[in-house]
Structure 1
Amino acid sequence: MAITREGRICSFCGEPGGPGTDLRLIGGLGAQVCERCVDDFHGILHDEATYAEARGSFPWERMDDAELLATLPQILASAEQNTAFAHEWVDLLRSRNISWAEIGRALGVSRQAAWERFSRRSPDKGATA
């Protein structure tokens, strides 16, 4: 099973990227970041005044209601991307014959709870091992 960046978005700005787009994404564990955001963060981290300003308040404290509402779909898209990635990760584990019991232990839940959460998208629908 190959996990790809196809159809992914930048977890920070929400722009679509990956193969077939001009926006290159890097990252892992569900979160993806585009080059523009990396450059922006690099600029913040390496400029003392900008860094101090960024540390002073959270972005949502400076947003008006319309900006907050406009950002909500991006937050949900990023959350959905991470949920899909978790399913892909479990599919990868199952393709390597990792048992539902082992997956459940890693998640701190029972084998059944892991299976109920992740088997619906998994190609193997059995609750074996």
Structure 2
Amino acid sequence: MAITREGRICSFCGEPGGPGTDLRLLGGLGAQVCATCVDDFHAILHDEEAVAAASGPFPWERMDDAEVLATLPRILASAEQNISFAHEWVDLLRSRSISWAEIGRALGVSRQAAWERFSRRAADKGATA
């Protein structure tokens, strides 16, 4: 099972990525980051004034209502991307014959709870081992 960058967005700026873009998969936890965001964060981390400014109020505290509303769909797209990534990882585990009981233990839930949450998309629908 291949986990690809196709159809992903940058988890920081919301820009779409995929083949032929600068989007990169980091750490295996679903976070995606584009080269522009990496460069921007690198510049901030090496500039004491920029670090101080970034350590100030949260961005949403400076936004008006229209900006907060405009940001909400991007936040949900990032969250949905991470949920989709979790399903891909469960599919990967199932393709390696990892049992629902083992997946449940890793998630701190029962085998049944893991199956109910992830089996609807799993390639082995109906498998309950």
Runs ≥4 residues deviating over 6 A: none
Contact 2:3 2:88 in 1 (8 A): yes
TM-score with structure 1 length normalisation?
A: 0.95
**Distance (whole Å) between structure 2 residues aligned to residue 26 and residue 36 of structure 1:** 14
Contact 2:10 2:23 in 1 (8 A): no
**Distance (whole Å) between structure 2 residues aligned to residue 39 and residue 76 of structure 1:** 24
Is the aligned partner of 1:76 residue 2:110? Answer: no
Please name the residue that 2:16 is paired with. Answer: 16
Please name the residue that 1:112 is paired with. Answer: 112
| Partner SS state of residue 55, structure 2 | helix
Contact 1:16 1:23 in 2 (8 A): no
Contact 1:102 1:111 in 2 (8 A): yes
Listed as ranges, the gaps of 5+ residues in structure 2 are none
| Partner SS state of residue 18, structure 2 | coil
The root-mean-square deviation of aligned C-alpha atoms, in Å, is 1.0
Code of the residue aligned with 1:15 in structure 2: it is: E
Change (3 A) 1:127 1:26: closer
| Partner SS state of residue 25, structure 2 | strand
**Could you list the per-position Cα deviations for residues 64-119 of structure 1 after superposition, in whole angstroms to 9, with x for gaps in the alignment?**
11100000000000000000000000000000000000000000000000000000
Please name the residue that 2:85 is paired with. Answer: 85
Code of the residue aligned with 1:64 in structure 2: it is: D
Listed as ranges, the gaps of 5+ residues in structure 1 are none
Aligned length: 128
After TM superposition, the structure 1 = structure 2 runs for residues 1-129 of structure 1, keeping only pairs within 5 Å, are 1-20=1-20, 22-27=21-26, 28-129=28-129
**Distance (whole Å) between structure 2 residues aligned to residue 26 and residue 104 of structure 1:** 25
